[in-house]
Amino acid sequence: MTWHLRLNHMSKRYLESAAKFSKELRGVRFGNDILDCADCKLAKAKRQPCIQKRLRSDIPFHRVYSDLMGPLKPLAYRSSNKYIVTFTDDFSRYAVAYAISDKTQVHTALSRYLMEIRKMIGPQTKISELRTDAGTEYRNDEMKRLLAKEEIVHTACETATPQHIAPAERLNLEIAEKVRAHLISSGMPTYFWAYAMNHVLYIHNRSPNASNNYLSPYQKILNVPPSLESIKRFGCETYILDVHAKNKPKFTPRSSLGFLLQCTDTGYIVFDAAKKTVVESKHVQCIESRTFGDLANKRPDLLALPQFEFGFENETYQRKVPQDDESQSSAPQDDLPLNRAPQDDLPLSRVPQDELPQTRVPQDDVPQSTLILDHVPQEETLQKHRSRSIEYQEEPTNLELPSIVLEEHIGGNEQYEFFDQLQDDAEPNLSCLIYLTNSALRKLEKEPESYQEALRSPEAEFWKEAIKEEFDALTRCGTWRIVPKTAIPKDTKVIKARWVLRKKSEPDGGIRYRSRLVAKGFADVNNYDISEIYAPVARLADVRIILIIANKLNLDLIQLDVSTAFLNGTLEKLVYMQPPEGLAEYLGEDDNFTKNHVCEIHKALYGLKVSPKR
């Protein structure tokens, strides 16, 4: 032991070899106590090899391996997911993966996986063992309840032993390498990785696997060789048939340019370059020799993709005066006033002036120096709403604003009392008079209180157009995904929605028909446990201060607005909503569509309490 300590804690085998040529070590006996040297165990500890041979399951989905990858950057297109959870069948190596936004959604992914495999080989399919690593995402309360309900034994391997879930680890490597290859080859933006992942696994399950004697996972489970005829190149140039082309002019194009994102059992998922949205269609034609990368430099105007990571599709600049009560979008009132949320991000349906019977002042008579106020608050409506909101504290009417010292611009310590100066400088505004007159006349007209009432009104065509434009805006923003009711967890609260329909007077005397789909967000209080309502815009008092400063210093004001900005906020947790009235007709579905499907909300929607803080 002494020589072991002297010679750098040399092993017993090396000491015995050294004794053959060193006279100092001749005759020295090296005992087994060298093997028990505590210093060596502390200093030379290594991972132990995993030499045991695993026994493969002989029943499909009897044992399933699962693992979690992430967080990934950039966030996935539209859904803003940043994790991948995978499930691999030990019997066949059939693999399924889901993109999720939070680790706590693993139990939801497992529910979907169970539903899909039962649809694949029968409702009697049962997972006996789920083998994972020691991650906490597999040990939360929701996961434990699901495992107990399905009678699944959870086997968590020890920390730092990925060999025990080798099939899942190999699948992670395959996904990372092949998704990377598809994105590089096609030139598609990297935030399409979730679609590329599904494309990779679709092909993986239909490709030969060495562990199956080069049978594909699909064939080993179903005993039927898969067809590769429908598989196309990821990101290739694709033309999507417009199935509604018969309703368009005779000589308009019958298809639109897109790029293939994913193959499915019934068709393809394609990014429509013109509409900047993802569509699913069977009726496509692919040119696999050309990809997004080949065309991006030639047609930048058509192929410019939305920078969704910034929370909006594109930027538009419009006139808008924020309202005090725009933050109160989650109250349960049925008579929800439209001026409680951003105004210019609503789809508008315009009525030509010559179709209106009422008298109006021509726009040419309005002085060019007059400031046209596009949005004047309806104080009666605002006061009515304030009285119903228990979370709103009304501001005192005799509000005194602090004096502001303007030294840099006017060279002295002059102070201005803003409200006094505003009243002294006020001038009559003809545009305001036009607006107020039309508003007073409009109060005599009854606006529809529901979707069905709007369809029965004489102005049904205008309301239909406004509702269609609202659906278009929600579709462009990726607000929801339609899923079957059977795909959502049991006991999930499904909230309702209603239409708010209003007419808006324009400065020139015209009328704009406006529609807004509002979720009845008071039903989601228990899901989010929210005790306050968040204001996404500035108060009117703040806006007045800015206007007065600009007026006194003769400054130019530049206002910008993001179209449908409110609808672009991404929700952290899933919310399910009943399909709104008119959605089945908009999608061309029958009446059973509404009964059998729900909307899985991914983006902020008017009415949800969690929406304004997104």
Q: Apex CA 179: angle with CA 178 and CA 185, to 5°?
A: 85
The model carries a pTM of 0.51
Looking at residue 46, the DSSP 8-state letter turns out to be -
**Domains of the chain listed by start with CATH number:** 2-43 (no CATH), 63-222 (3.30.420.10), 236-310 (no CATH), 324-391+401-603 (no CATH)
Note the helical H segments in 283-350. 292-296, 300-303
- pLDDT given at position 440: 62
Residues of the chain with pLDDT under 70: 51-52, 300-445, 506-509, 521-538, 561-569, 609-614
The torsion defined by the Cα of 45, 47, 52 and 55, in degrees rounded to 10, comes to: 150
* Sequence-ordered list of residues with C-beta below 8 angstroms from that of 542, at least 6 positions apart, any chain: none
- For 297-356, write each residue's pLDDT tens digit: 777 665 565 554 333 333 333 333 344 443 333 333 333 333 333 333 333 333 344 443
CA 498 – CA 341 distance, rounded (Å): 16
Element (H, E) at 202: helix 193-204
Residue 441 is predicted with a pLDDT of 59
Q: Are 519 and 598 in contact (CB under 8 A)?
A: no
Chain segment 80-108, per-residue pLDDT in tens? 899 999 999 999 999 999 999 999 999 99
Going by their DSSP bridges, the two strands 570-577 and 494-495 should be labelled as parallel
Whole-Å CA distances, 437 to 351, 358, 428, 432, 505: 18, 11, 14, 8, 9
Q: Residue 518 — φ and ψ, nearest 5°? A: -120, 125
Phi first, then psi: what are they for 19, rounded to 5°?
A: -70, -20
Residues 6+ apart with CB under 8 A from 472: 347
Give the C-alpha separation, 229 to 233, whole Å: 12
For residue 50, the model assigns a pLDDT of: 72
CA distances to 28, 512, 614 from 6, rounded to whole Å, are 14, 93, 66
Burial of residue 285, with CB atoms counted within 10 A of its CB: 0-12 exposed, 13-18 middle, 19 or more buried: exposed
**Which pLDDT score is estimated for 356?**
38
Q: For tokens 């199956």, what's the residue?
A: 212
